[in-house]
Structure formats: C-alpha cells, structure tokens
Amino acid sequence: MGFLSKLFGKKDKPPRPSAPVAHTWHVTSVTRETPSSISFEVDATMDFKPGQFVLLRPNTELPWRAYSFSRAPGRPLRLTVKRVPDGVVSTYLTTQLKVGDALEVKGPYGQFVLPAVVQRALFIAGGSGITPFLSILQQFEAANWPVPVTLLDFNRAQPEQILRAELDALVASSGGKLELVHVLDDAGGPCSAAVLEKLLEGRPAPDLVGMCGPQPMMDLARDFTQQRYGGVTILEEKFSMSHDEGGSGASYSVEFVQGGKSQRFEVKDGEHVLAAARKQGVNLSAGCEMGACGVCRVRLLDGKIHVPDDACLSDGEKEDGYALVCVGTAKSNCRIEPAP
Ligand SMILES: Cc1cc2nc3c(=O)[nH]c(=O)nc-3n(C[C@H](O)[C@H](O)[C@H](O)COP(=O)(O)OP(=O)(O)OC[C@H]3O[C@@H](n4cnc5c(N)ncnc54)[C@H](O)[C@@H]3O)c2cc1C
Ligand code: FES
C-alpha cells in the first residue's frame, strides 16, 4: 500500500453502503464566508475520507442535496455552502440556517478520493468546488506535504472567493509544495482552454488532475487536460450538471416494480430516467441527482440503461445489471426494481 493510501484510502471505489443510515446533526456555528456563502459546524463526528460528501436536508419539505466536507477528517465537521440563483436548498442554508438547527444527514459518500500513489497533482476548482480540495489539502498539511500541488482556483469575483485566507495560510505552511493561482473572471479568467494553456505553460506535468465545480467548466478542463497530459489520471466531482429535460426521438417504456406492484412511465431517448419518472408521478429514490452518491441505484430486470463512465457505478455493478436513474438514459424498454 502506497504512502498516500494510508492518508486517503485505496484507489478502488469505496464500498457502497447498502442501506444509508440517516443521522441527525445539530448546527453549532454558522460563519458567513462571502455575500453568498456560509460555513457551518455541527455537533457530530463522522468517519470520512478527504474529498467525500454527505447528503443532507434541513427539513422534510426540502429535497436532499450533496455537500462536501470543507475540512480534513479528525477536526470539527464543517460544510461550506454557496447559494445558487433560485436554488431551493442552498438559499435556505445560506439565509436561514442558525445555531441549534437540526439537519438530516446521510453518508459519507463519494469517490473524489486521491489514489494511493501520486507524484504531482494539479487541482482545478470552480467557485464552491474548492470545498473538497480544502479537506484534501489540510490532510496534505497534516502529513507534511508529501506531494507537490498546483491549485487553480477559479471564481467570478474577489468578494466571492470562498475561504481564501485559509487557502493562503496553507500555501504559507507548505514550504513551496502548494502553488495557488487565484483566477477571477475579470482578472485572467473565466476558465477556457486558452486560459488553462497560459496558466500551465512551463509548469511540470502532473500525474493526477483533480477537478471540481460546475459541469461546463469541468467538461472544458477535462478535454483540455486529456489533450495536454495524455494518459493522466483524472478525478472529477460535478457540483452542477445540465439535466437533459427534454430528450428526443425514440421513446421507451419503463416498468418500475416494487413490493409486488408495478408502475409504468415513458422515457425519451436522451432523457434521464429519474426526470421522466418524476414528470409522470412515479417516485424513485434519489440523493445527489448527479451520479455521485448511488442512492438512486436500481437493478435492471430487463432492458438497457446507459450510465456515463464518470458516474459512481463500477464496471462490475454495470455487468451485474445495476444502473443509476439520475444520470442514466434508457436504450430500450426496461423493467427495473430498487437495488437491494
Ligand atoms: C458530490 C457533490 C458535492 C457538492 N458539494 C457542495 C459543497 O460543498 N458546497 C456547495 O455549495 N455545493 C455543493 N454541491 C452542490 C449542491 O449539492 C447543490 O446542487 C447546490 O447547493 C444547489 O442546490 P439547490 O437546491 O440550492 O439548487 P436547485 O434548486 O437544485 O437548483 C436551482 C437552479 O440552479 C442550478 N444549479 C444547481 N446547482 C448549481 C451549482 N452548483 N452551480 C450553478 N448552478 C446550479 C440548477 O440547474 C437549477 O437551475 C455539491 C454537489 C455534489 C453533486
Ligand atoms: S442520486 Fe446520487 S447517484 Fe443518483
């Protein structure tokens, strides 16, 4: 087992929790980080790996959402939330959360966990996508910086830079091992292939690229790093994604079987199965809704559902007939049941 595996866990995907247990956490502090973001601490402990997240909901009226730990394990648990325009849960958390509030929490989840052996890392963060990197970098600091890291931290504007002072303190403690480049939309950014090319010019090639942020930035950064550093290991965590609401062309029938009953709904080609089920009043379990937690896993009794490679479903699970409905698209008529 390599040195980093002791810190971060093995390269294999973490074992899937068969039945996620819900915990109740109480908020012990709320700190405003920027005009649109807060951090909060809770009275609980949880065993997690740097880079992982939990699903939480502030009350049963609100949907579950995923939030990454913004601190390394072994310290008071902290999550950091940025409000997205018209966002149901992030608006609630950033405007109404207060000390003493109870939160329903499930987890930890996630495969945004460093592999056992890394020689040099490049991290690319967009907005609130900085949170899992803080957890990872604090773990590096605790281990006396075993790996050189370049972190590109993209933000719209200076007042919206999350936990900037904490990041700068990490740079100061790293003895040159952590190089941090803040990029603002109006000063060097926004993120594009040309901007990445310029920022990375003359810097040594990494063997690991970790990226976290909204989907458009991730798509761009993945294409760029794959081209520039062919064969590099890429770790991704999407904080937002474009759900294809419409779909087009062929339409398939999906039968959802549960407890001796069955319900049918139609899914268009390209449409996510979960979105189609919801529109037609069929209630399928879901958590992060971005292919990251596995809560929406179903077993295929018949038919085919395509799940993208970057979702948290292993090849073995695909071969055993499992699918994720939040990011999965039907490729034939299907029969599905909740995964055991
Ligand atoms: C694994 C994982 C970890 C995450 N960790 C964090 C974290 O540490 N901190 C954090 O602030 N967020 C994090 N997120 C994002 C978070 O889960 C929610 O998606 C986000 O807070 C928006 O939820 P909402 O209910 O407020 O918005 P919704 O009501 O779901 O969405 C409202 C609108 O905003 C768009 N939207 C949704 N999310 C985003 C986004 N991130 N950026 C831009 N537009 C968006 C939607 O498409 C929709 O149009 C994480 C997401 C994942 C999948
Ligand atoms: S809801 Fe999280 S993977 Fe589908």
Beta carbon of 161 within 6 Å of any ligand 1 atom = no
What confidence score (pLDDT) does residue 11 get?
A: 39
pLDDT per position as a tens digit, 253-307: 999 999 999 999 999 999 999 999 999 999 999 999 999 999 999 999 999 999 9
- Strand order of the sheet with strand 248-258? 261-269, 248-258, 334-338, 297-302, 322-324
Q: Cα(311) to centroid of ligand 2, in Å?
A: 9
Output the CA 9–ligand 2 centroid distance in Å: 22
Distance 302 CA to ligand 2 centre (A): 21
Average pLDDT over residues 26-37: 97
Q: What is the DSSP letter of 188?
A: B
Q: Could you give the dihedral angle defined by the CA atoms of residues 261, 263, 269 and 274, in that order, rounded to the nearest 10 degrees? A: -90
Q: 20-109: what CATH class?
A: mainly beta
CATH code matching the domain that covers 121-240, chosen among 3.90.1170.50, 3.60.20.10, 3.30.930.10, 3.40.50.80: 3.40.50.80
> Of the given ranges (15-19, 208-212, 246-250, 332-336), which has the lowest mean pLDDT?
15-19
Find where tokens 């008071």 sit.
76
SS3 assignment, position 175:
coil
Three-class secondary structure of residue 111 per DSSP: coil
Tell me if 54 CB under 6 Å of ligand 1.
Answer: no
pLDDT for res 242: 67
Whether the pTM exceeds 0.75: the reply is: yes
User: Binning pLDDT at 50, 70 and 90, where does residue 178 land?
Assistant: very high
- Supply the mean pLDDT for the chain: 91
Q: In what order do the strands lie in the sheet with 121-126?
A: 178-184, 149-155, 121-126, 208-214, 233-240
Distance 67 CA to ligand 1 centre (A): 8
Look at residue 89 and tell me whether its pLDDT is greater than 90. yes
Judge contact between 271 and 283, C-beta under 8 A.
Answer: no
The structure tokens listed for 294 are 């596995």
**Nearest alpha-carbon partner for 145 in 253, 15, 3, 309:** 3
**Given pLDDT bands bounded at 50, 70 and 90, which one contains residue 60?**
very high
Which one is predicted more confidently, 5 or 224? Answer: 224
Provide the H-helix boundaries in 146-290.
Answer: 164-173, 193-200, 215-228, 273-279
**CATH no. of 248-338:** 3.10.20.30
- Looking at residue 266, its pLDDT comes to 96
Q: With the CA atoms of 180, 232, 219 and 13 taken in that order, what torsion angle do they form, in degrees rounded to the nearest 10?
A: -100
Residue 246 predicted with pLDDT over 90: no
pLDDT confidence of residue 7: 47
End-to-end Cα spacing for the chain: 31
Ligand nearest to the CA of 326: 2
Confidence band, pLDDT 50/70/90 cuts, at residue 9:
very low
Q: Which ligand is nearest to the CA of 33?
A: 1
Element (H, E) at 267: strand 261-269
Atom of ligand 2 nearest to the CA of 287: 1
Ligand 1 neighbour 87 (Cβ under 6 A)? yes
Closest C-alpha residue for ligand 1 atom 33: 87
pLDDT at residue 245, as a whole number: 54
> Considering the chain, what percentage of its residues have pLDDT values greater than 90?
84
Domain boundaries, the chain: 20-109, 121-240, 248-338
Distance between CA atoms of residues 287 and 292, nearest Å = 9
Ligand index nearest the alpha carbon of residue 66: 1
How many angstroms does the Cα of residue 291 sit away from the middle of ligand 2? 4
CA of 229 to the centre of ligand 2 (A): 30
User: What pairing do the DSSP bridges indicate for beta strands 297-302 and 322-324?
Assistant: antiparallel
